[in-house]
Amino acid sequence: MRVPPFDRYQRFLAGFGLFLSGAIIGSAVYMSIHQHTYNQLYVQMHKYLEENRDLREDIDNLNKTRNKQALINVVNVYLVPKNQEDVISEDIQKEIEGDVKSELKLVIGQKAAYVRDAHPLYERLITQRTYTLHDKKYIVEVKSIVLIQTELSIWITAEEKRT
């Protein structure tokens, strides 16, 4: 049996190898771009879902207390960075804000005067609270609490607990 000479296929195999390498590198670049875009869309979708949920809660709360002007209708929570080095990702910020807001749901519908007088109670309810998100622990502290007419706004800071 005669074996064909390998020299005939050497250029073909080199070309095929380059084509295959280009296909692998191209698919890796495409997947990295696709994953980055998908991650941005995922974060944006969660931001919109959070905003939608907050707006629906605000509508429900405003419908409950439509005719009662001296009651708290809206609770807003804002997370500010403690310092420039401790920047927390946006999705974790939204989750912490949502958790604190859900703890303060009991304030909605209460008289504004009562909430103003019980300011230290609500501050102690939130301060030094530990939240576990994505296998990391975050400690929350209250920066300020402001009551303007029927809206309670709370500014908090969160830092990752080092163990």
Q: Is residue 23 over pLDDT 90?
A: yes
Question: CB–CB of 145/122 below 8 Å?
Answer: yes
Looking at residue 163, what is its pLDDT? 65
Q: Is residue 16 over pLDDT 80?
A: yes
Alpha-carbon distance of 40 to 34, in angstroms, equals 10
Q: Is residue 65 over pLDDT 80?
A: no
Looking at residue 41, what is its pLDDT? 96
Looking at residue 69, what is its pLDDT? 63
Closest CA to 91 of 59, 138, 148, 29: 138
Q: Is residue 139 over pLDDT 90?
A: no
Confidence (pTM): 0.59
